[in-house]
Amino acid sequence: YYLNPRYQYRPGVGDDGTLIRAVHKVYSKLDPASPAVGQFGNELTWFKDARRTFGEPTSVAARTKMSPTEWWIMYGTDAPTVRKLAIKVLSQTTSSSACERNWSTFALIHTKQRNRLAH
C-alpha cells in the first residue's frame, strides 16, 4: 500500500522504514540492471513528500477519487521510474478463485465415502 496514493499520505504510512526497504527491494528485483536505480530513491522521496506533481491541488484531490493505477498514469509523470513500478504493482488483481478451485478438488478427492472405501 506504500505506492497507493489513497493510503500513502495517512499519518505513519510514509515513515515506515521496513515498508520503504521492501519497496526498494521489489524495484531492485524487478529491474536489477536499470541505470535508473539512483533516480528511484529521489522519485520515491518526491512521492512521499508530495513534491512536484504529487502536491498539486488536482493531484491531491484525485487521491481518493481515482483508482491508484489511473492516478499514477495521470500524475506520476515527474517520477517515471516509480510510476512504472506503481502501475505494475497496483494493477494486479486479487482473487481467491485459484484457492477455491484447489479446495474444491481436494474436497472431491477426500470425501467421506472415498475415505471409507480406503479402509
pLDDT digits (tens, 9 = 90+) for 26-80: 777 777 667 777 788 888 889 888 899 999 999 999 998 989 999 889 999 999 9
Q: What is the mean pLDDT of the chain?
A: 79
For range 96-119, the mean pLDDT: 63
Q: What's the predicted TM-score (pTM) here?
A: 0.67
61 contacts 99 by C-beta, under 8 angstroms: no
Interaxial angle between packed helices 17-30 and 80-90, expressed in degrees from 0 to 180 and rounded to the nearest 10 = 90
